[in-house]
Structure 1
C-alpha cells in the first residue's frame, strides 16, 4: 500500500456559502467515486480557496459526509498570483491505496478545468 495524492479543483459563480458548500461536496464525492475510496482510506485533506471566497469553510461541508468525522481537514488560502483563476476551491487528498500513480483520477470541474486540461479530459 502507498500514500498517493489526489488533486481536485472547482470554481463557483459567486462568493456564497451554499455555492461553496455544494461545489465542495460535488468535487469531493466525484473524487471519491472515481477513485473508489472510502473515508477510512484518507490520511488527510488540504483545502485551499482563493481570497475572493470568504463566506464559508469548505471543510464544514465535507465534514457532513458520512464517515468523514475523523478525517483530518485543513483550510488555507491559495497563493494570490495576479491573473490566476478566481473563485476556486482546490483539494489535495492524501490516501492509502493500492492504485498506481497512473490509476489515480484527479477531478477538475467547472472553470477549474483550465488548470489541468490534460487531466480534465479523463473526467
Structure 2
C-alpha cells in the first residue's frame, strides 16, 4: 500500500449552504467510489473553496457521510486569482491504496471539468 493523492473539484451556482454541502458530499463520495476507497483507507481530506464560498464548512458534509466521522478533514480558502473559476470547491484526498499513480481516477464535476480538460473521459 502507498499513500496516493486523489484530486477532485466541483462548482455550485451560488453560495448557499445546502448547495455547498450537497456538492461536497457528491464529489467526495464519487472520488471514493471511483477509486474503490473505504473510509478506513482515507488518510486525510483537504478542501479549499474560492473566497466567494462562505455559507458553510464543506468539511461538515464529509464528516456527515456514514463511516467518515473520524476521517481528518480541513477546509481553507483557495488563492483569490483574477479570472479564477467562481464558486469552486476543490478536494485533495490522501488515501492508502495499491493503485499506481496512473490508475488513480481524479474527479471533476459541473463547471470544474474546465479545470482539467486533459482528464476528461479518463
Shorter-chain TM-score range: over 0.9
Segments of 5+ residues of structure 2 without an aligned counterpart are none
Match of 1:49 in 2: 49
Counterparts of 2:32 and 2:85 in 1: how far apart (Å)? 24
**Alignment TM-score, normalising by the size of structure 1:** 0.97
Q: Is 1:61 matched up with 2:61?
A: yes
Q: Is 1:32 matched up with 2:32?
A: yes
Shift in Å, 1:16 = 0.1
Counterparts of 1:92 and 1:61 in 2: how far apart (Å)? 15
Match of 1:78 in 2: 78
**Alignment TM-score, normalising by the size of structure 2:** 0.98
Moved over 6 A (4+): none
Aligned-CA RMSD value: 0.6
- Deviation string, structure 1 residues 5-29 (Cα, Å, up to 9, x no partner): 0000000001000000110011011
Match of 2:114 in 1: 114
